[in-house]
Amino acid sequence: MAAAGHLAWFVLDAVEQMDLSVFYAAYRADGHGRAAHDPAMMVALVLYAYAVGERSARAIERRCVEDIAFRVIAANQAPDHATIARFRVRHEQALAGLFGEVLRLCARAGAVSVGVIAVDGTRVKANAADRANMDYEQLAREILAEADRVDREEDERFGDARGDELPPELVDPVTRRQRLREAKRRLDEEWQAKQAEMRAWQTAKADYTQRTGRKVGGPLKPRPVPPAPGGRINITDPDSRPVKTARGFLQGYTAQAVATEEQIVIAADVITGGNERHRLGPLVAAARSELVAAGVEDAPEVVLADAGFWNSPHIQALGEQGIRALVKPDADTRRAPTRLRSGPAYEQMRELLARDTEAELYRRRQAIIEPVFAHTKITRRADRFQRRGLTACRAEWRLITATHNLLKLWRRALAPTPALA
C-alpha cells in the first residue's frame, strides 16, 4: 500500500473536515492557560489509536516515540500518558460526539444506505471484577469491619491523640469506607424506588376495582418487594451487572449497535444488564435521529433483530411508521410460546419468517451486524471498557463505533473503482 493511502493520513484528512469547536471551546481564547497540545492533534491521535486497537494511554505514549504512523499523527510530539488520559476524561462527551461527525463523512461519501438495517447487542466486560459484587448484608458487615480496622490502626498510631494532627498531604479523601457507603446508599435508593412502584401499583389496582367492580388478575402482577433492601451491587463499578453470555456470566454491560448493509454503525448505546426486550423501538428511533443529523433523508424500510428484541408493541409501532420489523419470535433454545411470546403478533411473525422471501431477508441479519462486533472485540481488542460507570461506558462505546465507521470509510476509499464497460 502506498504511503499516501495509509490510515494515518486518512485520519488527519478526516479530522480536518470535522467540527471540533466543542473541543476548542473548553480552552480560553485569550491564550492564557492554553492546552499543551493542539486539540485537533489530540483528537486525531485518539481516533487513530482506537482504530488500530490501542486504547492504553501508556501504550499510546510509547508508540508516539517508536511508531512512525503515531509520530506522523502527533506531528512528532510525544504527549505523556497522563495528558492523553486527562484529555479523554475532560472531553468524554465531545469524543462521543465524534460518532455523528464520522457518520456525516460516511453519508457524504455515499457509504450509508438504510433500506435494510440490523439491531443487536453484545456483552462487554466492565472495568471491575465479579468478586466485588456484594449484597446489602455484606456491605453492612464490610462497613463495620472497615471501621473497626481503621479504629485499631489509629489507636496503634496515635494512642490517646485525636489523630488530626497529621499533615494534610497524608490524608486520603478517597477511602474504601466511602465506596462501601456509596454502594449501600444505591441499594437503599433502589429498594425505596421499588417500594414506591409497588404502592403506586396497589393504588391503581384498588382504583380500578372500585371503578369497574372487577379485580385485577393475570400473569403480569408485579412481584412483591422484600421488606429489606436486596440484590447485589459492585463496589468497583456500581452500574455494571453480571450479564449472561454463551460461556457463562461476566461482570459488564450490554453494548448495542444498529448497522446498515455496508456494516456502517448508525446508532450505538450501552445498557446495564442483559434485558434488551424494550430496546428495539428506542434504538431505531436513535438511528433515525443520527441519520437526520448526518444529512440522510431516507428512513429505514426493514429492521432485522434476533429473539432478544422481541416486543410486539414495538413491532406494531414501527409498522405504523412504515418500517417493517422482522424479529425472530423464538430463541434457538426455546420453541414453545411463553407468557411474553404469544398472541396474534407472535403467530403472525412465525408464519411470516417461515416464508422463503422473509426467511432469506432475515438471514442477512447475521452478516450485517455480527462482523461489526467480531471486528471490534477480537481484531481491535475492545472487549472491555476502560472507564467505569454507565455514562462513561456509553461515551467510550460511541467512540469505539465511530472508529469502526472510520475504518470502513478508509477501506472504501482504498477499494479499486470498477472499470467502465
DSSP code per residue over 75-104: TT----HHHHHHHHHHTHHHHHHHHHHHHH
| Range 11-30 average pLDDT | 88
Residue 158: C-alpha distances to residues 147, 168, 406 (Å)? 16, 16, 59
Residue 53: C-alpha distances to residues 89, 98, 238, 401 (Å)? 19, 17, 27, 12
Note the pLDDT of residue 203.
77
How many CB atoms lie under 10 A from the CB of residue 406? Answer: 25
* CB proximity list for 403: less than 8 A, separation 6 or greater: 47, 50, 51, 102, 380
Where residue 338 falls among pLDDT bands split at 50, 70, 90?
A: low
- Comparing 26-30, 52-56, 264-268, 292-296, the range with the smallest average pLDDT is 26-30
- Comparing 96-100, 137-141, 285-289, 355-359, the range with the smallest average pLDDT is 137-141
Please indicate, yes or no, whether residues 172 and 222 belong to a single structural domain of this protein: yes
Tell me which of 228 and 44 has the higher pLDDT. Answer: 44
Please indicate, yes or no, whether residues 228 and 334 belong to a single structural domain of this protein: no
Q: What are phi and psi of 190, to 5 degrees?
A: -65, -40
Please indicate, yes or no, whether residues 244 and 346 belong to a single structural domain of this protein: yes
Please indicate, yes or no, whether residues 216 and 278 belong to a single structural domain of this protein: no
- Comparing 51-55, 108-112, 116-120, 213-217, the range with the smallest average pLDDT is 213-217
Instruction: For residue 413, tell me if it sits in a domain.
Output: no
Where residue 134 falls among pLDDT bands split at 50, 70, 90?
A: confident
Note the pLDDT of residue 281.
95
pLDDT of residue 326 exceeding 90: yes
pLDDT of residue 73 exceeding 70: yes
| Range 37-57 average pLDDT | 95
Where residue 276 falls among pLDDT bands split at 50, 70, 90?
A: very high
Instruction: For residue 175, tell me if it sits in a domain.
Output: yes
Please indicate, yes or no, whether residues 300 and 319 belong to a single structural domain of this protein: yes
Instruction: For residue 100, tell me if it sits in a domain.
Output: no
Q: What are phi and psi of 125, to 5 degrees?
A: -65, 145
The DSSP secondary structure of 87-155, one letter per residue, reads HHHHTHHHHHHHHHHHHHHHHHTT----SEEEEEEEEEE-SS-GGGEEEHHHHHHHHHHHHHHHHHHHH
Note the pLDDT of residue 225.
55
Task: Domain count for the chain, please give it.
Answer: 3
266 in Cβ contact with 103 (< 8 Å): yes
139 in Cβ contact with 105 (< 8 Å): no
| Range 184-201 average pLDDT | 79
pLDDT of residue 230 exceeding 50: yes
Instruction: For residue 158, tell me if it sits in a domain.
Output: yes
Q: Report the mean per-residue pLDDT for the chain.
A: 85
- For the stretch 245-269, pLDDT in tens is 888 899 999 999 999 999 999 999 9
Instruction: For residue 98, tell me if it sits in a domain.
Output: no
pLDDT of residue 154 exceeding 80: no
Note the pLDDT of residue 189.
82
Residue 220: C-alpha distances to residues 187, 193, 228 (Å)? 25, 19, 23
How far, in Å, CA of 412 to CA of 112, rounded? 12
Q: What are phi and psi of 200, to 5 degrees?
A: -65, -40
Note the pLDDT of residue 343.
75
How far, in Å, CA of 403 to CA of 380, rounded? 10
Note the pLDDT of residue 415.
72
Please indicate, yes or no, whether residues 247 and 348 belong to a single structural domain of this protein: yes
How far, in Å, CA of 254 to CA of 396, rounded? 13
How far, in Å, CA of 171 to CA of 155, rounded? 16
Instruction: For residue 216, tell me if it sits in a domain.
Output: yes
- Comparing 226-235, 306-315, 390-399, the range with the smallest average pLDDT is 226-235
pLDDT of residue 212 exceeding 70: no
Note the pLDDT of residue 170.
42
Note the pLDDT of residue 70.
96
Q: Which of 69, 45, 41 is nearest to 57 (CA)?
A: 45
Where residue 226 falls among pLDDT bands split at 50, 70, 90?
A: low
Last residue within a domain, chosen from 185, 214, 234: 234
Please indicate, yes or no, whether residues 204 and 261 belong to a single structural domain of this protein: no
Instruction: For residue 300, tell me if it sits in a domain.
Output: yes
- Comparing 178-182, 207-211, 387-391, the range with the smallest average pLDDT is 207-211
| Range 55-65 average pLDDT | 95
Note the pLDDT of residue 166.
44
Please indicate, yes or no, whether residues 138 and 220 belong to a single structural domain of this protein: yes
Please indicate, yes or no, whether residues 353 and 247 belong to a single structural domain of this protein: yes
The share of the chain scoring above pLDDT 70, in percent, equals 83
Q: Which of 351, 267, 341, 261 is nearest to 308 (CA)?
A: 341
Domain that holds residue 277: 112-128+240-390
How far, in Å, CA of 15 to CA of 1, rounded? 22
Last residue within a domain, chosen from 234, 254, 277: 234
How far, in Å, CA of 370 to CA of 118, rounded? 9
Instruction: For residue 401, tell me if it sits in a domain.
Output: no
Please indicate, yes or no, whether residues 253 and 386 belong to a single structural domain of this protein: yes
Please indicate, yes or no, whether residues 283 and 199 belong to a single structural domain of this protein: no
pLDDT of residue 98 exceeding 80: yes
pLDDT of residue 219 exceeding 50: no
Q: Which of 402, 396, 406 is nearest to 98 (CA)?
A: 402
Please indicate, yes or no, whether residues 260 and 381 belong to a single structural domain of this protein: yes
Measure CA 334 to chain center: 28
pLDDT of residue 83 exceeding 50: yes
Tell me which of 100 and 188 has the higher pLDDT. Answer: 100
- For the stretch 158-190, pLDDT in tens is 666 655 544 444 455 556 667 777 777 887 887
